[in-house]
């Protein structure tokens, strides 16, 4: 998991000033917690519980992406971390409930990867299997997505919003969101697989598995070529928009 860095005091003061007086104490507790260095499962649960408490006082229930981004900027942890911590607190609202997931032996990194598995029994069974077999986070992510596919967005548990019918400004926002997610995946997941792990795939001796791996590699190559073409076209359009916006400034 990326190292958590506290936000500057100026950012915190600006965000705190936007909160009603009763909620400022909750924010102060959040800020103090973020500054704590022991980021274990209990810490993330406390973080999520405070986020839920603060979110309840927000007009839209704290579901707006702008609010979460502003909170993340004021605290330090990324938006994804805050959403996952809040989801942990939603799924395990009490310390007793949290002990049940802690009993699987999984740390926060692994727990955060299965929060989208809706059935608690299946979620815990997957975590116990990951612990028993010594799965890497990448392996656990793959197994969770393969066994429990979902069209629901990440750990937030809300349905994916349709991307069609957006106005140009909305398209730019969606482009930024999706590319940020891809970059995050590349840095935190794809980039964390070491050369030896990739070489290990080529050592598979089972013919069926080797054939499946070849199919995966071929599909990945096709997807990346399509992505390259799409990125070139999108960059050209964004440059045009940038020139047009600059011309009016």
Using DSSP's 3-state secondary structure scheme, residue 152 falls into: strand
Q: Kindly tell me if the per-residue pLDDT of 192 is higher than 80.
A: no
The helix/strand/coil state of 57 is coil
Domain identity same for 131 and 86: no
Within-domain flag for 140: yes
Any domain includes 170: no
Residue bearing the bigger pLDDT, 210 or 54: 54
Examine the domain organization and report whether 16 and 94 are in the same domain.
yes
Q: How many domains does the chain have?
A: 2
Instruction: Dump pLDDT digits (tens) for 148-190.
Output: 876 544 333 444 455 556 788 878 888 888 888 888 778 777 8
Whole-number Å distance between alpha carbons of 181 and 178? 5
47 versus 55: which is more confidently predicted?
47
Domain of 120, in residue numbers: 111-160
Q: Is residue 55 part of a domain?
A: yes
pTM of the model: 0.61
Q: For residue 55, give Cα distances in angstroms to 20, 50, 82, 151, 229.
A: 12, 8, 11, 25, 40
In angstroms, what CA-CA distances link 161 with 18, 91, 151, 158? 28, 22, 10, 9
Could you tell me if 61 and 147 lie in one domain? no
Shared-domain flag, residues 17 and 95: yes
Is 178 inside a domain boundary? no
Scan for tokens 């809706």, then name that residue: 118
State the pLDDT confidence band at 231, using cuts at 50, 70 and 90: very high
- What tokens appear for 225 in the block? 């070529």
Are residues 3 and 70 located together in one domain of the fold? yes
Q: At which of 103, 120, 137 does a domain end?
A: 103
In a domain, 150, yes or no: yes
Q: 126-144, pLDDT tens digit by residue?
A: 999 999 988 888 888 888 8
Q: Do residue 64 and residue 38 come from a single domain? A: yes
Q: What SS3 state is found at 153?
A: strand
Is position 9 within any domain?
yes
Which pLDDT belongs to residue 153?
A: 45
Q: How many CB atoms lie under 10 A from the CB of residue 202?
A: 9
Q: What is the pLDDT of residues 3-52, one digit of tens each?
A: 678 889 999 999 999 888 889 999 999 999 998 877 899 999 999 999 99
pLDDT in tens, 83-105: 999 999 999 999 899 999 999 99
Single residue among 144, 160, 176 that ends a domain in this structure:
160
Q: Which is higher by pLDDT, 31 or 60?
A: 31
Asked whether residue 236 is domain-assigned, the answer is no
- Confidence bin at 80 (pLDDT 50/70/90): confident
Q: List, for residues 203-228, the tens digit of each pLDDT value.
A: 766 777 777 788 888 888 989 999 99
Least confident of 25-29, 60-64, 193-197, 205-209: 60-64
49 and 126 both lie in a single domain: no
Residues 1 and 99 in one domain: yes
| Domain boundary, last residue among 79, 103, 127 | 103
> Could you tell me which residues come within 8 angstroms of residue 53 by beta carbon, excluding any fewer than 6 positions away?
26
Q: Any residues with CB less than 8 A from the CB of 117 and at least 6 apart, and which? A: 123, 126, 144, 148
pLDDT for position 163? 53
Run of H or E residues at 141:
helix 137-147
In a domain, 246, yes or no: no
């Amino acid at each position: 998991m990326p190292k958590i860095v506290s936000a500057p005091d100026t950012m915190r003061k600006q965000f705190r000033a936007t909160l009603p007086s009763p909620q400022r104490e909750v924010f102060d507790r959040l800020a103090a917690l973020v500054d704590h260095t022991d980021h274990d499962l209990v810490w993330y649960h406390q973080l999520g519980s405070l986020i839920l408490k603060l979110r309840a006082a927000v007009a839209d229930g704290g579901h707006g992406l702008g609010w979460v981004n502003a909170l993340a900027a004021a605290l330090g942890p990324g938006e994804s971390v805050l959403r996952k911590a809040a989801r942990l607190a939603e799924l395990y609202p009490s310390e007793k409930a949290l002990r049940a997931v802690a009993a699987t032996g999984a740390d926060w990194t692994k727990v955060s990867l299965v929060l989208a598995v809706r059935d608690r029994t299946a979620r815990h069974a997957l975590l116990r299997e990951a612990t028993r077999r010594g799965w890497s986070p990448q392996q656990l992510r793959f197994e969770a997505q393969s066994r429990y596919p979902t069209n629901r967005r990440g750990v937030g548990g809300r349905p994916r919003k349709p991307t069609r019918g957006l106005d140009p400004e909305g398209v730019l926002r969606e482009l930024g969101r999706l590319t940020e997610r891809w970059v995050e995946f590349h840095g935190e997941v794809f980039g964390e697989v070491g050369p030896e792990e990739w070489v290990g795939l080529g050592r598979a001796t089972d013919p069926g598995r080797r054939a499946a791996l070849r199919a995966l590699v071929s599909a990945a190559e096709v997807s990346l070529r399509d992505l390259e073409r799409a990125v070139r076209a999108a960059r050209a359009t964004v440059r045009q928009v940038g020139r047009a916006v600059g011309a009016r400034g």
